[in-house]
Structure 1
Amino acid sequence: MTYTFTNNERLGIKLPLLEQSWNNYTKETQESILAEWETIRGKIPDRIKDLENEINDRQSQLYQEEDFERSCKLNSEISELASIINDLWIWYRTNNHITSKVPY
């Protein structure tokens, strides 16, 4: 097999890792890749919702936090969670074509 789906710990989903150009895969293999991707892709909104809940939790903590260093840490965590959500939305929109090797 010249492709695989590998777990991306940061995003919390599996991502495709293609070993060759998309057009070099047979139609059957492309369909197999896309079918597996659609299953994974369907879980992205739930993953985003979980991360949004984590952000809301951190924001609640931040509103009550008086320690400056702890506030900075919470802000950093919120920023990272928002970055993950942004990356997940990018992957979510990758629904019809997987065209190159995954950079992760």
Structure 2
Amino acid sequence: MPILLILSDFTFLFLRVAFATVIFWFGLHKFRKTKFIGVLDIIAGLLLAFGFISRWAALLIALEMLTLILRKFWLGKRSKEDLALDFILFALSLYFFTKGGGIFSVDESWLFLF
């Protein structure tokens, strides 16, 4: 049983690092077009990598990806690579919203301390 818990934690850590890397790369890619969204994605990727992101920040990333997906469908300007990356980021951010925040994140459970 403890081996399954270790594997589960390792898988979650691997997904967190992979998601942070993709968000960071996505932010650098977006920085060329829109500086504000790019900076937000870069900061979100760094916070996620170090475990400071909360589940609500993951929900904001999911909403951002959903608006990008809907805008690409609405305008008809979509490439397969960009759309696949948006869907992956949308699914992963929803996963992190349901799974919870990082080790050091300030989530709603901290509100009960005060």
Verify same fold: TM over 0.5: no
The structure with more strand, counted as a fraction of residues: 1
Q: TM-score range by the shorter chain?
A: 0.3 to 0.5
**Which structure is richer in relative contact order (CA contacts within 8 A, separation 6 or more)?**
1
The structure with more helix, counted as a fraction of residues: 2
Larger Cα-atom Rg: 1
